[in-house]
Amino acid sequence: MKRSCRFSLPVTVVISVIGYIYTSTVFVFVDQWFGLRSSPGIMNAAAFTAVALMCTINYAVAIFTDPGRIPATFMPDIEDADNPIHEIKRKGGDLRYCQKCSHYKPPRAHHCRVCKQCVLRMDHHCIWMNNCVGHANYKVFFIFVLYAVIACIYSLVLLVGSVMYGSEKEGQQSEGSYRTIYVISGLLLVPLSVALGVLLGWHIYLILRNKTTIEYHEGVRAMWLAEKGGDVYSHPYDVGAYENLTSALGPNILCWLFPTSRHIGSGLRFRTAFEKLASATASK
């Protein structure tokens, strides 16, 4: 489901940063190190353009894709034998119901106060996208972060190479202007590479455990309560690293780096560790 265009200041900042990094990388770093008319220059410019283009496409898709709304006709079936998990409220034990949206919430869905809607398999609200990260756009968000990390590190390598091996044919005025670009780019790329690298590592961990950011924090509390009661907490949607990975990125490894989403399903129901254990027991 698509949503209308809603630009914001953080989105404008991200677009401006992408444009600046691309322009400085191709027309300054690559040009100064290799020369844009040389074979290495053309190859590096083409490779970085491809990475930047994929980064931009995934960012745009993540922004404009609705993260996943609960159908108006959704009604939990507590007698469904094929669905062993029905999330309930912490207090009272009733089925989870959203008073603001006036409908029941399926497992892993949460209400976003910013978007003013319940989001299927909500991970978090991202101000840099002016959108929630949820069931329908989580993969695209993850791939965007991956390409952003690659682009930042690639640009940083070209920056260092340009400084070390750049030609000295330019005039003094031109050198001064390039020096400013180098300083600004370095101050931008180093913290971006670190921050995005940490974010990428965090979501790789979440994907391998089949958790959302919200479920991670809820799981920490549930684990503490379980240990306090002498029990062991296990995340119900963790069905093994490989199956967790394919549920997020798709079964076809060739499509992992592209914004495809045919594999995601309805977002109303997810395979659980209990089902995997039951099927393994039945096959013996």
For the stretch 220-238, pLDDT in tens is: 666 655 555 666 678 889 9
Element (H, E) at 97: strand 97-98
What are the backbone dihedrals phi and psi of residue 56, each rounded to the nearest 5 degrees, phi first?
A: -70, -45
- Which pLDDT score, from 0 to 100, does residue 1 have? 44
- Which pLDDT score, from 0 to 100, does residue 34 have? 92
- Which pLDDT score, from 0 to 100, does residue 82 have? 55
The answer to whether 250 and 214 are in contact (CB under 8 A) is: no
- Which pLDDT score, from 0 to 100, does residue 149 have? 98
Q: What is the mean pLDDT of each run of 10 residues along the chain (284 residues)?
A: 66 97 97 93 98 97 95 78 57 76 92 95 96 97 98 97 71 64 96 98 97 89 60 83 96 94 92 80 69
Tokens found for residue 110: 């949460």
Instruction: Determine the Cα–Cα distance for residues 231 and 70; give it in Å rounded to an integer.
Output: 33
Which residue, among 222, 178, 136, 130, has the nearest Cα to 32 in the 3D structure? 178
Residue 49 CB coordination number (10 Å): 13
Instruction: Determine the Cα–Cα distance for residues 179 and 184; give it in Å rounded to an integer.
Output: 9
Question: Would you please indicate which residues are annotated as catalytic (active-site) residues?
Answer: 126
- Which pLDDT score, from 0 to 100, does residue 79 have? 58
The answer to whether 94 and 88 are in contact (CB under 8 A) is: yes
pTM: 0.90
- Which pLDDT score, from 0 to 100, does residue 172 have? 47
Per-residue pLDDT of 68-122, as tens digits, reads: 999 988 888 765 555 556 566 555 556 889 999 999 999 999 999 999 999 999 9
- Which pLDDT score, from 0 to 100, does residue 80 have? 59
The answer to whether 250 and 262 are in contact (CB under 8 A) is: yes
Element (H, E) at 200: helix 172-209
Task: Tell me how far CA of residue 245 lies from CA of 140, 220, 258, in angstroms.
Answer: 14, 22, 15
